Structure 1
């Protein structure tokens, strides 16, 4: 099942093949923050800022989560090359 980024139950991103892909997108977008560890978990842990969530979703008609992932990776590589 594909996953996407949501805020208040509104889907904000395209659908991606798995949850890890959406975490990468959220990280690049500055939506991931580290919080101090609590007694149950050692070390900092990643959480999404504000009311953002990563949830399973259905891909829109004609949408291909694998193509969305490939496009995001291509854009990320292009950004890295431009910033070098």
Structure 2
């Protein structure tokens, strides 16, 4: 099942094959924050900034989650090269 990033129940990202792919996108976009641990979980845990959620989604007609993932990874590599 594909996943996407949502804000206030509106899908704001393309669909990706796995939830972890959307976490990577959210991290690069600055939407992931670390919060302090609680008694049940040691160490910090990552959460999404206000009103953002990662949820299963339907794939739009003609959309390919695997292609979206490949394009996002390619863009990330290009950004790393430009920053070095």
- Scaled to the shorter chain, the TM-score interval is over 0.9
Question: Which consecutive unaligned segments of at least 5 residues does structure 1 have?
Answer: none
What is the distance in 2 between the residues matched to 1:78 and 1:19?
A: 23
CA offset at residue 83 of structure 1?
Answer: 0.3
SS at match of 2:82: helix
SS at match of 1:72: helix
Q: Which digits, 9 at most, give the CA deviation of each residue in 1:37-81, with x for residues without a partner?
A: 011100000000000000000110000000000000000000000
Question: Which consecutive unaligned segments of at least 5 residues does structure 2 have?
Answer: none
What is the distance in 1 between the residues matched to 2:40 and 2:60?
A: 38
Which runs of 4 or more aligned residues in structure 1 lie more than 2 Å from their structure 2 counterparts after TM superposition?
none
TM-score normalised according to structure 2 size: 0.99
What is the distance in 2 between the residues matched to 1:83 and 1:77?
A: 10
TM-score normalised according to structure 1 size: 0.99
Equivalences for 1:4-83 in 2 at 5 Å? 4-83=4-83
Report how many aligned residue pairs link the two structures: 84
